[in-house]
Amino acid sequence: MLVDSPPEQSADRTAAASAPEPVRRHALRAAGLLLAVGVLALVCVASIAIGAKPVPVSDVWHGLFQNSGTGSDVVIRDLRVPRTVLGLLVGVALGLSGAVMQALTRNPLAEPGLLGVNAGASAAVVTAISFFGVTSISGYVWFALLGAGVVSVVVYLLGGSRGATPVRLALAGTAATAALFGYVNAVQLLDSAALNRLRFWTVGSLASADPATIGKVAPFLAAGVVLALLIVRPLNAMEMGDDTARALGAHINRTRVLAMAAVTLLCGAATAACGPIVFIGLMVPHLVRAVTGPDMRWILPYAAVLAPVLLLGSDVVGRMVARPSELQVGVVTAFIGGPVFIHLVRRKRMAQL
Amino acid sequence: MKAVKAVEAVRAAKAIRTPGGLSVRVDPRAVLAVLLLLAVALGVAVVLVGSGDFPMAPGEVVATLLGDGTAAQEFIVHDVRLPRVLVALLVGAALAVGGALFQSIARNPLGSPDVLGFAQGSSVGALTVIVLFGGGSFATAGGAMAGGLATGAAVYLLAWKRGVHGYRLVLVGIGIAAMLAGAIHYLVTKADLVDATRAVLWMTGSLDGRDWSHFWPLLAVTAVLIPLSLAYGRPLRMLEMGDDAAYALGIRVERTRAVLTGSAVLLTAVATAAAGPIVFVALSAPQLARRLTRSPGPNVAASAVMGAALLVVADWVATSAFGDRRLPVGVVTGVLGGVYLLWLLVTERKAGRI
């Protein structure tokens, strides 16, 4: 080294000093985030109250904190709360993983489904069901995580790790998805018991949530969230391109590895718990970016709050439209997300990452 | 880099001039590739006709086709296996041409009907018929056709905004595909297990039980649309250079794009109606063809024979490689195509080309 690197934070300080206006913008963004949290709380209450057996909002409080064993208390404790908690966790996971993946690949199309993570989880789960006789959802978790992890690493390496371009990464993901779904379909057709189980998992549903499943996936999700939040700054730098990022002092390879680990943990655990739920990871970061701009320090919290709003809201809608039966949340997110996404695509030039 | 290659390819092409003043440009490598692929497709087709519970040597198959077989051989070849193999050839060609057109129009190697929501649209149509109405194979094909065409039209219209931009087309297609996938999963959970199995079999793409009644509509459509697509090869090649350049070179951009999108959609629709959404042929055949011919542009003819060859080879593998268990052809195209594309990514990366 001929020249000493400048102290790490100096760049930040000069940026803050030379621009007084961002303070107001930050205040606005913080207020928006608070508002989003409020909306999330409302959606959680709705998710507990609404369903095949409606519970008045006053009883929701009662059921949560004073278990008296009445019918609605049992419904709340055994069915609605686990379901809401799982929806919350999965929503956070999908939102964060989508945002991290789009930043990492600098690809607005990056989505766990597109990059083969869902297919990896599906292939592992169908293997578990058909060849290892695993029948409980909490048993799928390990397989789904393993499948998601292996496939995401393979796709990332094939996509060209260091010099991955968006098109190459997407091609690698598409290839892996196609190959794995060929395998999944073959197993399903040869083993109709596996098909029977898998079809209820593939649709993406929160209906089978229970505390055991939540306990299994929560540690992975927590680890993933922490990892994702730790790499915010280098991700910000990397959005400007590898050279600039390196010049700004980001450890590019370390960041990439950590980001992939975070995405794998988040997506793998979420997919294991409730099946592949498309669209949230793709859509929420796009919506958020329209509000916050390209700063990952704001995108991640917003995505973490708004993704569960969307997921739980969809789940509630699914319970309302097809009473007393219900529409799985994966179906509802697809049908809410699709038009919103197309509107975004049409309204303006997609944000180029 | 790409431009240099294109120039090299053009230099490699030879022009044939007739005494009357006509001149035709011929690329020897492309012609050779097309002939080779055609030979492979027909050769494997003959082998495929000869394989099954009543095995026949390729010589016997050819003799039977020429009218010199025994009555049993005549029956097996003409009534049972020949229509299936012909459907395979045509479906492969139609899917590959549809894919080549889509990829050129979207100017994106991912712009295949698979990605643009077409397969999902057909699947929703077919599954609606299978699950909600319990329809037979013809109603299913009709449902698939309707679903596919409606989806194609919807994607095109939604992507329309003073012309269709390739990038927007792909994004809208992805959006629609994700929506329809939700509907598919829902329909599969609604069905009883027998119908669900039928639905998965259909969605995988299978050639089992295809007969002459599947073949004729397919032939009618492909016989019109594949020559049409070939005729539009030149404007399409110009279109790949970007809308502005194409305008400047005298191409009617929107008309060309509308005609070719329509023909790609129709080709994919009839192929899907006949055999289900067989994945990856549309995505990989044009890429393979392009690498074999090493010529720029859409390579429609080479893609067509490549698709036909791919599909019969895949069907042969699916029906003979797993012992007694005859898998649907879509399983093999999915796995083979995926592995091929992965291999391609590795080698291209080593060569530093992408």
Q: What is the mean pLDDT of each run of 10 residues along chain B (354 residues)?
A: 51 69 76 90 89 81 83 83 91 93 77 73 89 82 89 84 68 80 86 85 84 88 92 85 84 86 88 85 85 80 92 88 77 79 71 57
- Would you state the pLDDT for residue B58? 84
d(CA B290, nearest CA chain A) in Å? 16
Is residue A13, in this structure, part of any structural domain at all?
no
- Would you state the pLDDT for residue B166? 61
Q: Which residue has the higher pLDDT, B117 or A224?
A: A224
Domain that holds residue A296: 279-341
A173 in B contact zone (CB under 8 Å): no
What is the residue-averaged pLDDT of chain A?
79
What confidence category does residue A11 fall into, taking pLDDT thresholds of 50, 70 and 90?
A: very low
Q: What is the mean pLDDT of residues A55-71?
A: 72
Structurally, how many domains does chain A consist of?
1
Is residue A299, in this structure, part of any structural domain at all?
yes
- Residue at B288: amino acid letter: L
Domains in chain B with CATH codes = 2-53+84-350 (1.10.3470.10)
ipTM for this model: 0.75
Residue B152 to residue B262: CA distance in whole angstroms = 8
Percentage of the residues of chain A whose pLDDT score is greater than 70: 84
Query: Is the pLDDT score of A178 beyond 80?
Result: no
Q: Which residue has the higher pLDDT, A113 or A7?
A: A113
Task: List the structure tokens of A222.
Answer: 């927590």
State the Cα angle at A257 between A255 and A262, rounded to 5°: 90
What confidence category does residue A162 fall into, taking pLDDT thresholds of 50, 70 and 90?
A: low
Contacts of A175 in chain B (CB under 8 A): 337-342, 345
A223 in B contact zone (CB under 8 Å): no
pLDDT digits (tens, 9 = 90+) for A85-101: 999 999 999 999 989 88
- Would you state the pLDDT for residue A353? 35
Is residue A269, in this structure, part of any structural domain at all?
no
A177 in B contact zone (CB under 8 Å): yes
The DSSP symbol for A163 reads: G
Q: Give the 3-state secondary structure of A175-203.
A: HHHHHHHHHHHHHHHHCHHHHHHHHHHHC
- Would you state the pLDDT for residue A349? 54
pLDDT digits (tens, 9 = 90+) for A235-292: 888 877 778 888 888 787 888 888 888 888 888 888 888 888 877 888 888 888 888 8
Q: Which residue has the higher pLDDT, A8 or A76?
A: A76
A116 in B contact zone (CB under 8 Å): no
Query: Is the pLDDT score of A17 beyond 70?
Result: no
Is residue A74, in this structure, part of any structural domain at all?
no
Token look-up 């097309």 returns B34
| Residue from B108, B168, B349 to probe the interface with A (highest A Cβ count within 10 Å) | B349
- Would you state the pLDDT for residue A137? 66
Is residue A51, in this structure, part of any structural domain at all?
no
Nearest to A104 by CA among A147, A165, A176: A165
- Would you state the pLDDT for residue B303? 92
- Residue at A206: amino acid letter: L
pLDDT digits (tens, 9 = 90+) for A106-129: 766 677 766 778 788 888 988 888
Is residue A318, in this structure, part of any structural domain at all?
yes
Is residue A196, in this structure, part of any structural domain at all?
no
- Residue at A62: amino acid letter: H
Sign of CA pseudo-dihedral A21, A23, A27, A32: positive
Task: List the structure tokens of B312.
Answer: 């019969």
Query: Is the pLDDT score of A12 beyond 80?
Result: no
Task: List the structure tokens of B314.
Answer: 């895949």
Sign of CA pseudo-dihedral A34, A36, A38, A44: negative
For residue B16, list its beta bridge partners.
B24
Per the CB < 8 A criterion, the answer to whether B298 and B170 are in contact is no
Residue B202 to residue B273: CA distance in whole angstroms = 10
Is residue A99, in this structure, part of any structural domain at all?
no
What region, left, alpha or beta, does residue B67 occupy, with left being phi > 0 and alpha being psi -120 to 50 degrees? left
Residue A158 to residue A151: CA distance in whole angstroms = 10
